[in-house]
A and B are shown apart, each in its own frame.
Chain A
Amino acid sequence: MAESPGVAEGLPSLTAITFKRGLVAGRLYLGLATLISLILTTVLLHNAKPGVFANTFPLELPLFATLGSMGGIMLFVSDRSKGVLEYLIAYGVRPRSLFLNVLLTAAALSSLVLLCALAVGLSGYLLTGHTLTADLENSILGYTVPMTYASALFATMTGMLWSVLSTPRAGLNSPVGVSPLLGIAPPMLVLILAEAVDKSAYYDITVGASIGFLLVVAGLLLVSTRLMGRERFLSAM
């Protein structure tokens, strides 16, 4: 849990405020990611070919969930440019807490997309007369869920580091523009790797890779806040 300063009675915690602000900042990404994933799910459910839904549905969700988590990095980049981060540090919020609050926000936002798509997809799948196979269950638990968080958190962490280590940029060259591309890297890498090895090792690879990416995020979090000067959080204004 992120370290937040003690909170006075009647006011939400900084973590809760960060989530709420992330939800507002990234509502367009969140809405689009959820909408597109639902459209794709509906298309897959109505595909007559057997096995298409079970094979495709678990693979596409991490990409949309990562897109839906963009509110976190958007918030961080905006707060840095507006000078909010320097105020928070002056009031005693540690840089690690700043990162951690945004990571938790990204995880919560990606959960919203994931839960929505899973609820619609699986209930539609069952209602159209299918049964939940072990393969589909394993794909969701062994790939979709861990890779969603690995991708979203990897995209957000690298985006935040990109933001604090560079001069502010706008447009697609900014951390907000680059983050989704970085978030696509983990699932793509894992899928390519998993295709190249024996099928029996598929879930070992996907779960292992997800844990690996989460460890990279944790490592970056620890190393960056130890080595990086606090002046990196200053606004360029």
Chain B
Amino acid sequence: MSEAIHPTSPAAGSVPFLQCEGLSSGYHGRPVLQDVSFSLSEPSIYVVLGPNGAGKTTLFRTLAGILTPLRGTARIAGRSVEEPSTRDRLHFLSHVDGIPDGLRVEEALRFYATVERAGPSDVGRVMDLLEITPLRRKYFSELSAGQKKRVSIARIFLRERDLYLLDEPTANLDPKVATEIRDLILGLSREKVVLYSSHNLFEAREIGRYVIALKEGKVAVFDRISDLRSAKYSIGVRPLSGAALLPASQRKGEYFVYDLVGPEEVPKLLRELEGKGVVVREVREMGNPLEDLFR
């Protein structure tokens, strides 16, 4: 894994779209984020990772203007996040659904359309987009967890913004719904800056181009995910035949796990296995470099 911190996404020398400088923020005067600095310019998905309490939600709430910075600045397109005009540049999706009690699905979206200054036609459009039109007359409280998440996420498509702050948007969703929502967010990221927090490291590697890893309120790593390398490179070998010839201590389910220096050692290992009479059915990488960010 790369230990280098690159506090700037490699955009083409433009004014950073989102810039944090020495940002400290927290609750009731007690800092959770401490001296955070980074800047982003390139439209992309920036995965924000970190263990519980690392400051991910605090960062999102500060950028959304809900928390007042204790020190330092956060700017969107050169304007402080404290300025009301910056609220028109961003969408915020919290880990709570934020749908008012006692409203039907369509009423809830009309409520947020009012707040968002969107039009009634936008409500119909996002219900079609998220495939929740059949639920429009149902009370939000009657929906399943996945349906609730769809309604909650529908808000961020009511109007286009430049910055999307998405706090665990696929948490507690079944794989099918999670994939659909990830696809929608991937579509957004072609033109928009998306900050995306997740505890799912495989999802993070799949969806993100950059990772911002927070540890104890500070930026521990900011890098391209493709540039991150695991401290150890593990591969799993799934034999078609000859499993008995492989060391049982290295067995994990259907795979036999080997720790190598890097991918360049894989051909040599396969030749050795072939020499022992093992017929290999599949080889796959077992480690995820993002796992190291939690250590």
Nearest neighbor of A9 in chain B, beta-carbon distance: B119
Nearest CB of chain A from residue B190's CB, rounded to whole Å: 24
Please encode chain A, from 174 to 190, with 1 for each CB lying within 8 Å of some chain B CB and 0 for all others.
00000000000000000
A231 near B27: Cβ-Cβ < 8 Å: yes
CA A117 – CA B209 in complex, angstroms?
Answer: 65
A11 near B64: Cβ-Cβ < 8 Å: no
Nearest CB of chain B from residue A84's CB, rounded to whole Å: 5
B87 near A79: Cβ-Cβ < 8 Å: no
- B98 CB contact (under 8 Å) in A10, A83, A92: A83
Chain A residue contacts of B98, Cβ below 8 A:
82-84, 86-87, 235
Which among B28, B65, B111, B113 has the highest number of chain A CB atoms within 10 Å? B111
Nearest CB of chain A from residue B151's CB, rounded to whole Å: 13
Chain B residue contacts of A11, Cβ below 8 A:
110, 113-114, 119-120
Chain A residue contacts of B68, Cβ below 8 A:
229-231
A78 interfacial by beta-carbon distance below 8 Å:
yes
Q: Which of A194-237 contact B (CB under 8 A)?
A: 229-231, 233-235, 237
The SS class assigned to the B binding surface is loop
Chain B residue contacts of A13, Cβ below 8 A:
114
Q: Which of A1-45 contact B (CB under 8 A)?
A: 5-14, 17, 21, 24-25
Nearest CB of chain B from residue A72's CB, rounded to whole Å: 14
A170 interfacial by beta-carbon distance below 8 Å:
no
Q: Given that A86-B66, A91-B87, A234-B66 are contacting pairs, would A21 and B119 also be in contact in the complex, using a CB cutoff of 8 Å?
A: no
B115 interfacial by beta-carbon distance below 8 Å:
yes
A237 near B117: Cβ-Cβ < 8 Å: no
B96 near A235: Cβ-Cβ < 8 Å: yes
- B120 CB contact (under 8 Å) in A5, A10, A89: A10
Chain A residue contacts of B84, Cβ below 8 A:
92, 94
CA A143 – CA B234 in complex, angstroms?
Answer: 81
Please encode chain A, from 39 to 78, with 1 for each CB lying within 8 Å of some chain B CB and 0 for all others.
0000000000000000000000000000000000000001
Interfacial residues, chain B to chain A (CB-CB below 8 A): 27-28, 61, 64-68, 84, 87-88, 90, 92, 94-103, 110-120, 155
Residue pairs across A and B with Cβ atoms less than 8 A apart, 16 shown, are A5-B117, A7-B117, A8-B119, A11-B110, A11-B114, A11-B119, A25-B101, A82-B100, A82-B101, A87-B92, A87-B115, A90-B65, A92-B88, A94-B84, A230-B68, A231-B28
